[in-house]
Amino acid sequence: MLNKKSVDDINVKGKRVLVRCDFNVPLKEGVITDENRLVAALPTIKKLIGDGGKVILCSHLGKPKGEPKPELSLAPVAKRLTELLGQEVKFAADPEVVGPNAKAAVEAMNDGDVVLLENTRYRAEETKNGEAFSKELASLCDVFVNDAFGTAHRAHCSNVGVTKYVDTAVVGYLMQKEIDFLGNAVNNPVRPFVAILGGAKVADKLNVINNLLEKCDTLIIGGGMAYTFIKAQGGKVGISLVDDSKLDYCLDMMKKAEELGKKLLLPIDTVAADGFPNPIDAEIETMIVPTNAIPDDKEGLDIGPKTRELFADAVKNAKTVVWNGPMGVSENPCLAAGTIAVAKALADTDATTIIGGGDSAAAVNNLGFGDKMTHISTGGGASLEFLEGKDLPGVVAANDK
């Protein structure tokens, strides 16, 4: 059980508060094309403004690799945040991030003012957690708030290093939500607890499968990674995606499930085609075949109708469901039925439903089921590591209650 201090546990009146946000938004010719991450950060920012803090925001954007790249400047974010907050967000345009503009802007702040620093990854030391840059960031503030779950699995200056040089380090509302749902749902779930894993590769989810088998009551495996399990059992999977180096691992996991008395569900039928669609949304001819009897020249690309029923049935009586990874090539309308069926089953259940970031979050939102889920994680890699049971540096660095 993770119990971290949050913005609700501190008094920031008159104090300089550095907030690490996740403003890593998609930009097209200087225009933000999806502002979900900005909107998600507003509750924490508004709380700190309302409490009379001097709010200094920082974030990375893209991968400038330690040098100033004008197309990755946070200037458009300052402009849009000004509109969203209804008050000026002063942009400190220092290529070195903590420079004369930032220092002067912070020096001139009144309670409730907001300043945004330049892209933290303009500094090469940021991703190496270099001491000098951590100290510079800390010199701007009295209190540090981490609200960027998407980078919580990395130890960088702006989320971990800085905490060594400030007395008070807490989490914001977004981070708190991730800890509550992802961390505690897995470690302390209301049962029955069903975990659904999809996506392409078994290798990406080795530790997740292992960890969740110990925690959940039923583990459902779909997506491309299912074919390695099917082949391990002696099934014929045609030209479907298989990781031959992981066949023994899959057998071990099936044995482990049996020994622990857990249900491990695999697809029983498959939507197969001649190959992966190119482009990804191209219309293709498909056929339904048993998952363990896919013709030699066909590739499995989605779960079939019987499997959709089987998986939907398995979540009906669940009290907690965690889902990470689509059931097929869900970007293609011909191959999205499996992912839609699982999303629909989750939307119809009374369970606490948690979507673990990345592709499954995108799929759920794009298919229109986003508002039916209890929690959609904002971090891809971070949520996976949380599901593996790993400690996330960005979470660990915050003060305990």
37-41, 257-261, 298-302: range with lowest mean pLDDT: 37-41
Q: Choosing from 201, 256, 263, 319, which is the catalytic residue?
A: 201
List the one residue out of 115, 83, 156 whose CA is nearest residue 17.
Answer: 115
pLDDT of res. 367: 85
List the one residue out of 369, 359, 276 whose CA is nearest residue 325.
Answer: 359
pLDDT in tens, 54-108: 999 999 999 999 999 999 999 999 999 999 999 999 999 999 999 999 999 999 9
Q: Say whether 112 is catalytic.
A: no
Q: Say whether 79 is catalytic.
A: no
pLDDT of res. 389: 84
205 is in an annotated binding site: yes
Q: Average pLDDT for residues 294-322, to the nearest whole number?
A: 97
27-36, 100-109, 135-144, 229-238: range with lowest mean pLDDT: 27-36
360 is in an annotated binding site: yes
Structure tokens at 182: 């992802």
Q: Say whether 191 is catalytic.
A: no
Q: Average pLDDT for residues 349-374, to the nearest whole number?
A: 88
pLDDT of res. 319: 96
Residue 185: pLDDT over 70: yes
List the one residue out of 360, 40, 353, 307 whose CA is nearest residue 195.
Answer: 353
pLDDT of res. 107: 98
22 is in an annotated binding site: yes
Q: Choosing from 304, 358, 379, 394, which is the catalytic residue?
A: 358
Query: What percent of the chain lies above the pLDDT cut of 90?
Result: 85
Q: Average pLDDT for residues 210-219, to the nearest whole number?
A: 94
Residue 203: pLDDT over 90: no
Provide the mean pLDDT of the chain: 94
Residue 2: pLDDT over 80: no
300 is in an annotated binding site: yes
23 is in an annotated binding site: yes
- Tell which wins on pLDDT, 180 or 141: 141
pLDDT of res. 1: 58
Q: Choosing from 4, 20, 37, 231, which is the catalytic residue?
A: 37
Residue 339: pLDDT over 90: yes
Alpha helices in 171-240 (DSSP H): 173-178, 184-187, 206-215, 226-232
359 is in an annotated binding site: yes
Quickly count: other Cβ atoms within 10 Å of residue 350's Cβ: 9
Pairing state between β 16-20 and 143-146: parallel
pLDDT of res. 116: 98
The number of helices, as runs of H, and strands, as runs of E, in the chain is: 14, 19
- Tell which wins on pLDDT, 45 or 359: 45
pLDDT in tens, 276-296: 999 999 999 999 999 999 999
Q: Say whether 381 is catalytic.
A: yes
Pairing state between β 293-294 and 299-303: unpaired
Q: How many CA atoms lie within 13 A of 160 on its CB side?
A: 19
Q: What domains lie within the chain, and their CATH numbers?
A: 7-177 (3.40.50.1260), 189-387 (3.40.50.1260)
What is the distance between the alpha carbons of residues 248 and 348, in angstroms, rounded to a whole number? 36
Residue 401: pLDDT over 80: yes
The answer to whether the peptide bond before residue 189 is cis (omega within 30 degrees of 0) is no
Give 13-51 as a DSSP string. TT-EEEEE------EETTEES--HHHHHHHHHHHHHHHT
Q: Is the pTM of this model over 0.85?
A: yes
Distance between the two ends of the chain, CA-based, in angstroms?
Answer: 12
What is the distance between the alpha carbons of residues 325 and 3, in angstroms, rounded to a whole number? 28
